[in-house]
Amino acid sequence: MSERAGVVATAALLLCCVATFPGAVGAAGVKTPTEELQIFKAWLDRVHPGYGCDEGPARFRNETVEAVYADRRFYYVLTYTRGIPPPFPNGVSLVAHVDESGDVRPLNPSSPERYRPGLTKVRRAEEARRTAAAVLILAMGDPVERRWTIRADQIAARKSRKGWVCTYHHGDENHASRVTFDRDGVLTAIACNPPPVP
């Protein structure tokens, strides 16, 4: 076989491999939303066996969140707040992100660093209000915002030497949720304080 024929044969073999295994070529670690959702479901079954919920597992679809986290997807389960007894013996409500390694990273307002990847730094009041709204929506765990519709124009943003303090009032002065950013515009704290469910 000539050298040229060998090159042609090798190229043909590579093309066959690509056609047979299209997922083999591409960025490592990139997963589709369907794959991420399956990973999230398997994680829930493993970490919360026999869990119950009213919504999900599903992708967290919310316009405000998606506008701020343009390159990051979230998944959730939600158990509605009710009286006693609870509707499920093992009711679960949580929001999570599936990272490039396929690890599920649940969000927790007491750990703001989990919310930081994908967030741009806040520079102006408008950005602070919009970003704070998205962070609070994720922290509340309900993409449809049934109890509280949190819009950027409902959030008060105050700048100080330390950074930004963004406050959302849940109907009265006694129930305020806050999101803070440092002087560099990086998310530093999340405090959710909605009134109890009647």
Task: Note the pLDDT tens digit of each residue in 108-135.
Answer: 999 999 999 998 889 999 999 999 999 9
pLDDT: which is higher, 145 or 15: 145
pLDDT for 88 equals 74
Residue 20 belongs to a domain: no
- Strand order through the sheet with 55-59: 55-59, 75-78, 94-98, 104-106
Q: Considering the entire predicted model, what is its pTM?
A: 0.81
Print the domain residue range for 128: 33-191
Asked whether the beta carbons of 91 and 51 are under 8 A apart, the reply is: yes
Domain-located, residue 184: yes
Residue 12 lies in a domain: no
CB-CB contact of 52 with 89 (8 Å): yes
For 20, 22, 146, the CA distances from 8, given in Å and listed in that order, are 18, 21, 61
Q: Which amino acid is at 141?
A: G
Q: What's the rounded Cα separation, in Å, for the pair 184 and 127?
A: 13
Helix (H) or strand (E) segment spanning residue 58: strand 55-59
- To which residue do tokens 């803070």 refer? 180
Which residues are bridge partners to 181 per DSSP?
164, 187
E strand spans, 42-186: 55-59, 75-78, 94-98, 104-106, 156-160, 163-169, 176-182
Q: Which of 31-40, 55-64, 85-94, 95-104 shows the lowest mean pLDDT across its residues?
A: 85-94
Contact 39, 98 (CB under 8 A): yes
The count of structural domains within the chain is 1
Q: Which is more confidently placed, 116 or 20? A: 116
Asked if residue 19 belongs to a domain, the reply is no
